[in-house]
């Protein structure tokens, strides 16, 4: 697949008025796009999906060519970091043709980083190809090193396969960061060991607080473990030193003195990171979410399909960014235990 708009054109277009950088009403430049390339997944993590998920019919999905065109339109407006996610991005058929096509923007310098978040199940197959296409860093989600717990959390996953995937990624020269969701009574006793394991292997480690997104089969209150507690427990075992390290994502980092590695915390419920928000998210159907924690969205599939030129698409992007809210409204409704946001994380890709 060749890119519909070449990166040379992008450099020229960035000089034109209608291709000015995307800046929201609160003067935040939008430089980071997260794209969910599929809502499907080979796992059914208990905090993310119900066991019997109804997935979208294929006709609703953007084709790989349309995803490429959409990403390219954002790159033309100043997006320099692109993260592919899902569902599980590496189960989308033909995904590497999209990666290869987007990697042209790395070659020209229009894009600074192309990365992905994955459950690791397909990395044995794809790690080398990702690296060959300019991907330098990936995030792998892994909540436990205990095979039975792993099966209980992911319902369908196999720990061995993911560990082999991580081996393959490191062997291919990819920089791997491990993300773990902190789950009350499930992995809360294991987080210190996971951290030590990741750091021994030279991988950064980030803990994520459960976010109330989408209806799942279990109670959010049963899963919710504030990261303030996780951090306090880790601080009993390790020396955590504040550092000034930013990846353009929402994590706050500390350095663990005993391991020398970095530890990140993503705490959407107990810490507000909205002031510095530089990102928006697109789903696999071309719906643009301006904020992970709000329901307001804009349809980009309509304008994308309505015309071969990108004018309608760029107008729709402008209108949407003008509505990007100042911050989010995450709440776990304690009386009804319902999410404030009804879509699943697998829809917007986290």
Ligand X SMILES: C[S@@+](CC[C@H](N)C(=O)[O-])C[C@H]1O[C@@H](n2cnc3c(N)ncnc32)[C@H](O)[C@@H]1O
| Interface with ligand SF4 (CB under 6 A) | 41, 43-45, 48-49, 86-88, 119, 141, 346
Measured from the CB of residue 327, what is the shortest distance to ligand X in angstroms? 18
- Kindly state whether residue 117 participates in binding ligand X, applying the rule CB under 6 A: yes
Q: CB under 5 to 8 A by kind: which of ligand SF4, ligand X, none does 267 bind?
A: none
Name the one range near ligand X by CB under 6 A: 81-89, 105-113, 145-153, 272-280: 81-89
Q: CB under 5 to 8 A by kind: which of ligand SF4, ligand X, none does 211 bind?
A: ligand X
* 168, 210, 282, 290: which one binds ligand X (CB under 6 A): 210
Q: The dihedral of CA 21, 22, 26, 28: what is its sign? A: negative
What are the residues facing 280 on neighbouring strands? 33
Q: CB under 5 to 8 A by kind: which of ligand SF4, ligand X, none does 286 bind?
A: none
- Kindly state whether residue 141 participates in binding ligand X, applying the rule CB under 6 A: yes
Report phi then psi at 254, rounded to 5: -130, 165
Cα–Cα distance between 90 and 323 in angstroms, integer? Answer: 32
Measured from the CB of residue 87, what is the shortest distance to ligand SF4 in angstroms? 5
Q: Report the residue number, 41 or 82, with the smaller CB distance to ligand SF4.
A: 41
Q: How many C-alpha atoms does 343 have within 13 Å on its Cβ side?
A: 23
- Kindly state whether residue 213 participates in binding ligand X, applying the rule CB under 6 A: yes
Token look-up 């095979």 returns 147
- Kindly state whether residue 47 participates in binding ligand X, applying the rule CB under 6 A: yes
Cα–Cα distance between 122 and 1 in angstroms, integer? Answer: 22
Cα–Cα distance between 181 and 286 in angstroms, integer? Answer: 27
Q: CB under 5 to 8 A by kind: which of ligand SF4, ligand X, none does 205 bind?
A: none
Q: CB under 5 to 8 A by kind: which of ligand SF4, ligand X, none does 177 bind?
A: none
- Kindly state whether residue 48 participates in binding ligand X, applying the rule CB under 6 A: yes
Distances (CA, A) of 296 to 80, 122, 229, 316, 329: 24, 33, 32, 14, 12
- Identify the H or E element spanning 321: helix 311-321
Q: Tokens for 199, please give them.
A: 């750091």
Among candidate residues 95, 98, 117, 100, the one with its CA nearest the CA of residue 43: 117
Q: Report the residue number, 250 or 349, with the smaller CB distance to ligand X.
A: 349
Measured from the CB of residue 179, what is the shortest distance to ligand SF4 in angstroms? 9
Q: Report the residue number, 49 or 79, with the smaller CB distance to ligand SF4.
A: 49
Q: How many C-alpha atoms does 146 have within 13 Å on its Cβ side?
A: 11
Q: Report the residue number, 148 or 236, with the smaller CB distance to ligand SF4.
A: 148
A 10 A CB-CB count for 231 gives 18
Give the binding site for ligand X (CB under 6 A). Answer: 41, 47-48, 85-86, 88, 117-119, 141, 179, 181, 208, 210-211, 213, 345-346, 349-350
């Amino acid at each position: 697949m060749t890119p519909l708009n070449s990166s040379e054109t992008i450099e020229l277009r960035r000089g034109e008025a209608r291709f000015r950088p995307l800046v929201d009403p609160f003067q935040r430049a939008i430089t980071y796009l997260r794209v969910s390339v599929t809502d499907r997944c080979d796992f059914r993590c208990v905090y993310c999906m119900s066991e019997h998920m109804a997935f979208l019919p294929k006709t609703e999905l953007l084709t790989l060519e349309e995803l490429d065109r959409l990403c390219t339109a954002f790159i033309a407006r100043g997006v320099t970091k692109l993260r592919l996610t899902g569902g599980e991005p590496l189960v989308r058929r033909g995904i590497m043709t999209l990666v290869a096509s987007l990697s042209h923007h790395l070659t020209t310098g229009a894009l600074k980083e192309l990365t992905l978040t994955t459950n690791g199940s397909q990395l044995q197959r794809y790690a080398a190809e990702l690296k060959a296409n300019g991907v330098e860093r990936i995030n792998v989600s892994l909540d436990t090193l205990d095979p039975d717990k792993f099966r209980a959390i992911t319902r369908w996953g196999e720990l061995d396969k993911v560990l082999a995937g991580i081996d393959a990624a490191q062997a291919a020269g990819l920089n791997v960061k491990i993300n773990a969701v902190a789950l009350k009574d499930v992995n809360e006793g294991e987080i210190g060991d996971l951290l030590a394991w990741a750091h021994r292997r030279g991988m950064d480690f980030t803990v994520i607080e459960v976010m109330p997104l989408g209806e799942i089969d279990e109670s959010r209150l049963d899963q919710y473990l504030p990261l303030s507690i996780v951090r306090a427990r880790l601080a009993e075992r390790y020396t955590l030193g504040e550092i000034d390290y930013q990846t353009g994502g929402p994590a706050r980092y500390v350095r663990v003195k005993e391991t020398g590695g970095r530890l990140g915390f993503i705490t959407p419920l107990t810490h507000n990171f909205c002031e510095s928000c530089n990102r928006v998210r697109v789903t696999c159907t071309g719906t643009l979410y301006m904020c992970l924690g709000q329901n307001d969205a804009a349809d980009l599939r309509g304008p994308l399909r309505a015309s071969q030129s990108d004018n309608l698409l760029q107008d729709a992007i402008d209108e949407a960014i003008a509505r990007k809210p100042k911050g989010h409204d995450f709440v776990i409704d304690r009386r009804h235990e319902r999410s404030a946001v009804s879509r699943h994380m697998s829809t917007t890709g986290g």
